[in-house]
Structures are given as structure tokens and as C-alpha cells.
């Protein structure tokens, strides 16, 4: 992505329309280490093939979510698409992390306390341009 400096790389370089981008809905915003994190999602209709990106800024750095549920540091591996070529004519909702979700709930007991910032973005699979704004969802682990 060209044309500016962005604190979170291309995941912060959106242009318009929050209704055009995926949203993450956390079960709440403040957690204790004894809890698990559940995250639901809402995907918009796209019309064209899109790549979906999910990343989280943690007290230890920023990490990108992979299709197999693993995480890699953005500093060493860059942003990695969670899904390639997603296309839908209707909106779609579901559970990303949690019971019945794509991945199980995230146990928070081994994670450091502090602020976490989740980001999601849609990137056009052909032009590689970010569609809409990257959506930022904060949470705190106490």
C-alpha cells in the first residue's frame, strides 16, 4: 500500500465505508487470566473475491492469524491472509473463536496482561487494495 505512513501497516490504511469490512465482536472488552476469549464475526457481501486479514497487537508485539489457527509475528512474517478469495452476495456471521466456531476459544491464562488491539481488513484479491477501513477492536487482559 502506498501513500502514507500507517501505524499498523496496510491493516490501518482503509478508505471508506465500515459496512464494507469484516467486524469482530468480542464476548466483552475486559478479561481476567482465568477466562477464555470468544470472538464472533460479521462479514459483508463482497461482490468480488477478497482476502481476509486478522491481526492482534499484544504486549509482546503484533501477530497475524493463519488459516490453520496458528499465529506468526508480523515483524518477521508480515500480514498473512486468514482466507483467500472470499466472495459472498450476502452478509455472513459466525464464531471465529469459541464453542462451535472455526477455532476453539482462546484460553487467556498464558497471555501477558495488558492492552490488545484486534484488527480485521478485506483486501481485494485481484488489485491488492484495502476495501474500506480496517476495523479496530480493543480488549484488556488484567
Task: Return the pLDDT at 128.
Answer: 92
Burial per residue of 20-56, b for 16 or more beta-carbon CB atoms within 10 angstroms, e otherwise: bbbebebeeeebeeebebbbbbbbbebeeebbbbbbb
**For residue 10, pLDDT beyond 50:** no
Between CA 131 and CA 9 the distance in angstroms is 14
**For residue 134, pLDDT beyond 50:** yes
Task: Return the pLDDT at 44.
Answer: 87
CB count within 10 Å of CB 14 equals: 21
What average pLDDT does this structure show over 13-41?
78
User: pLDDT tens digits, residue range 32-89?
Assistant: 999 999 999 998 888 899 999 999 999 999 999 999 999 999 999 999 999 999 998 8
**For residue 12, pLDDT beyond 50:** no
| Residue recorded with cell 477464555 | 36
Task: Return the pLDDT at 23.
Answer: 84
What average pLDDT does this structure show over 3-21?
40
Task: Return the pLDDT at 95.
Answer: 95
Predicted TM-score of the model (pTM): 0.83
Amino acid at each position: 500500500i502506498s501513500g502514507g505512513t500507517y501505524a499498523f501497516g496496510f491493516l490501518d490504511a482503509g478508505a471508506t465505508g465500515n459496512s464494507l469490512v469484516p467486524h469482530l465482536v468480542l464476548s466483552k472488552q475486559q478479561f481476567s487470566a482465568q477466562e477464555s476469549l470468544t470472538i464472533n464475526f460479521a462479514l459483508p457481501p463482497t461482490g468480488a473475491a477478497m482476502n481476509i486479514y486478522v491481526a492482534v497487537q499484544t504486549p509482546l508485539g503484533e501477530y497475524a492469524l493463519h488459516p490453520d489457527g496458528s499465529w506468526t509475528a508480523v515483524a518477521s512474517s508480515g500480514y498473512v491472509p486468514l482466507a483467500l478469495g472470499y466472495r459472498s452476495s450476502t452478509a455472513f456471521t459466525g464464531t471465529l473463536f469459541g464453542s462451535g466456531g472455526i477455532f476453539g476459544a482462546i484460553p487467556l491464562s498464558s497471555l501477558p496482561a495488558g492492552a490488545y488491539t484486534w484488527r480485521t481488513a478485506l483486501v481485494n484479491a485481484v488489485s491488492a487494495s484495502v476495501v474500506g477501513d480496517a476495523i479496530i477492536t480493543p480488549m484488556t487482559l488484567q
